[in-house]
């Protein structure tokens, strides 16, 4: 099916648009006794086997404690070491108890490690980024928290994939190295630049953050200058790798909340946002695609893991339409269906869209609580600026900010 070529247009408002193990048990010394061997660690969070009893010796022997089970994956706790058997001769000392297993990382609210007999209790598991993190969870600080930063506002260069890439970053004026900030990754549209995103105050989200007295760190990456019309890569994972490298740098050098990394973008930036949402769910908590499309952009192998998702589409958009012609796979509609399905939502045979009056935002029912899915449509063309009848307010950033701040 032929894909539409994304062409830049100018809206009436003058905006250029387009397409994370256990510790060893402690040993007590018996005179001349030989040491019992340690229980080996069981992978996957199973119980470490007990150290065997020391053989009899003068004054008795000792046995070492069972070692701790390795940390479990997907939130399962590491198992506890069991108590080492006592030395067999008179005067032999009793093996010490195995310590509790360390908590696993990953799944939803990992369970606590079970205590070894006489040992300590393993800590509760933390939720891995991209897992089922509950709404309004406490912040998870990045490695850069608690340390002064040398990062300043403005245009920066980073080496990614062997190439020099640029981006613009905006850090709150009264930056607090102990406060984990939300982090927004905002991709530009076709035939455009990171500067254009900055000029729009990062899709008008920065003023909303400032007004809410909840400042965030915003970043606008730049497509490779050699790409035609300032597009994001359509054949290679160049720009996905750029996201990985920038996020790693920001985590190491600034204080952000690693569970509140967000992505957004308009048109080709919306397509870039969609691409990241299909492959970077472990890093991105939620994404908003403004006039996105699922073609003419490199995506890679989709993981089909859940991610909170919102999108907007004008029903007269012919650049990144709701449905691309007669296609049954291309268009914003199919992005909504894909994420709705991956998020465990009930996907209706017909998704409600704008018919008249104000914009329509459809919240898919039945979604996993942590992964809301929303599709907004309106009476308008290919744009990221739209007002409802009788209003002059741009509802798109308002809906986007409301979506992002529920987490």
pLDDT tens string 186-239: 999 999 999 999 999 999 999 999 999 999 999 999 999 889 888 999 999 999
Tell me the chain's radius of gyration from C-alpha atoms: 27
CB atoms within 10 A of CB 183: 26
Mean pLDDT, rounded, for 256-260? 98
Q: Which among 21, 258, 23 is positioned nearest to 128, based on CA atoms?
A: 258
For the cut 90, the answer to whether the pLDDT of residue 88 exceeds it is: no
Between residues 277 and 46, which one has the greater pLDDT?
A: 277
Structure tokens that stand for 107 in this block: 């799944």
Query: In this structure, are residues 307 and 371 in contact, taking their beta carbons and an 8 Å threshold?
Result: yes
pLDDT for 301 equals 97
Is the pLDDT score of 16 beyond 90? no
Structural tokens at position 90: 């008179």
Sheet holding 373-378, edge to edge: 154-160, 163-170, 217-221, 181-187, 256-266, 286-290, 308-314, 373-378, 360-363
Kindly list the domain boundaries of the chain, sorted by start residue. Answer: 151-404
Q: What percent of the chain has pLDDT over 70?
A: 68
Closest by CA to 28, choosing from 116, 99, 87, is: 87
Residues recorded for the chain: 407
Contact 286, 299 (CB under 8 A): no
Token pair recorded at residue 1: 């099916």
**Mean predicted confidence (pLDDT) in 9-25:** 39
CA 359 to CA 378: how far, in whole Å?
Answer: 4
CA distance 189 to 197: 8
Rounded distance between C-alpha atoms, residue 16 and residue 29, angstroms: 77
Q: What is the mean pLDDT of the chain?
A: 78
Strands (E), 181-278: 181-187, 217-221, 256-266
Q: Are 44 and 73 in contact (CB under 8 A)?
A: yes
Calpha distance 132→261 (Å, rounded)? 15
Statement: residue 60 has pLDDT above 50: no
Q: What pLDDT band is residue 84 in, cutting at 50, 70 and 90?
A: very low
Q: Which two tokens stand for residue 171?
A: 């850090």
Question: Hey, what are 32's tokens?
Answer: 């001349």
- pLDDT score of 228: 87
Q: For 67-77, how does the pLDDT look when each residue is reduced to its tens digit (9 = 90+)?
A: 333 333 333 33
On the question of pLDDT at 348 being above 70, the answer is: yes
pLDDT over 90 at 174, yes or no: yes
User: Which string of b and e fits 366-383 if b means at least 16 CB within 10 Å?
Assistant: ebeebbbbbbbbbbbbbb
Per the model's pLDDT, the better-predicted residue between 150 and 51 turns out to be 150
Q: 394, 385 in Cβ contact below 8 A?
A: yes
* 22, pLDDT greater than 60: no
Q: What confidence category does residue 127 fall into, taking pLDDT thresholds of 50, 70 and 90?
A: very low
Burial grade of 401 (CB within 10 A; 0-12, 13-18, 19 or more): buried
CA-to-CA distance for 403 and 407, rounded, in angstroms? 8
pLDDT of residue 42: 31
pLDDT at 63 over 80: no
Beta bridge mates, 185:
219, 263
Q: Is residue 296 predicted with pLDDT exceeding 90?
A: yes
CA–CA distance, 13 with 103 (Å, rounded to integer): 53
Name the CATH topology of 151-404. Answer: Rossmann fold (3.40.50)
> For residue 351, how far is the Cα from the chain centroid?
27
Within the chain, how many helices (H) and strands (E) appear? 6, 11
DSSP string, 150-194: ---SEEEEEEETTEEEEEEEE--TT--TTS-EEEEEEE--TT--H
Q: Cα 346 vs. chain centroid, distance in angstroms?
A: 23
What pLDDT score was predicted for residue 131?
52
């Amino acid at each position: 099916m032929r894909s539409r070529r994304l062409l830049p247009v100018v809206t009436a408002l003058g905006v250029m648009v387009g397409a994370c193990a256990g510790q060893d048990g402690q040993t007590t010394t018996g005179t001349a006794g030989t040491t019992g061997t340690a229980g080996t660690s069981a992978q996957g969070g199973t119980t470490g086997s007990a150290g065997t009893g020391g053989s009899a010796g003068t004054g008795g022997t000792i046995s070492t404690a069972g070692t701790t089970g390795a940390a479990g994956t997907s939130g399962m706790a590491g198992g506890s070491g069991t108590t080492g058997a006592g030395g067999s001769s008179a005067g032999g000392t009793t093996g010490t108890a195995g310590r509790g297993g360390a908590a696993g990382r990953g799944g939803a609210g990992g369970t606590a490690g079970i205590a070894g007999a006489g040992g300590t209790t393993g800590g509760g598991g933390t939720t891995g980024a991209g897992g089922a993190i509950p709404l309004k969870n406490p912040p998870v600080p990045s490695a850069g928290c608690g340390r002064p930063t040398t990062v300043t506002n403005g245009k920066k260069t980073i080496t990614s994939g062997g190439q020099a890439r640029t981006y613009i970053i905006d850090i709150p004026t009264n930056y607090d190295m102990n406060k984990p900030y939300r982090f927004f990754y905002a991709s530009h549209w076709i035939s455009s630049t990171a500067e254009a995103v900055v000029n729009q105050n990062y899709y008008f989200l920065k003023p909303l953050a400032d007004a809410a007295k909840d400042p965030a760190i915003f970043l606008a990456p730049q497509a490779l200058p050699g790409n035609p019309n300032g597009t994001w890569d359509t054949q290679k994972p160049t720009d996905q790798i750029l996201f990985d490298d920038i996020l790693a740098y920001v985590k190491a050098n600034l204080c952000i909340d690693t569970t509140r990394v967000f992505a957004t973008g308009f048109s080709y930036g919306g397509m870039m946002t969609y691409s990241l949402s299909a492959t970077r769910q472990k890093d991105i908590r939620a994404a908003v695609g403004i006039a996105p499309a699922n073609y003419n952009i490199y995506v890679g192998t989709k993981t089909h893991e859940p991610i909170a998702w919102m999108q907007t589409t004008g029903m007269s958009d012919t650049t990144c339409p709701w449905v691309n012609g007669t296609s049954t796979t291309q268009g914003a509609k199919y992005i909504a269906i894909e994420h709705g399905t991956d998020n465990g939502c009930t996907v209706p045979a017909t998704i409600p869209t704008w018919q008249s009056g104000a914009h329509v935002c459809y919240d898919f029912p039945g979604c996993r609580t942590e992964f809301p899915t929303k599709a907004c449509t309106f009476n308008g063309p290919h744009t990221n600026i739209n007002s409802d009848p009788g209003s002059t307010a741009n509802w798109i950033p308002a809906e986007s900010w409301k979506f992002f701040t529920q987490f």
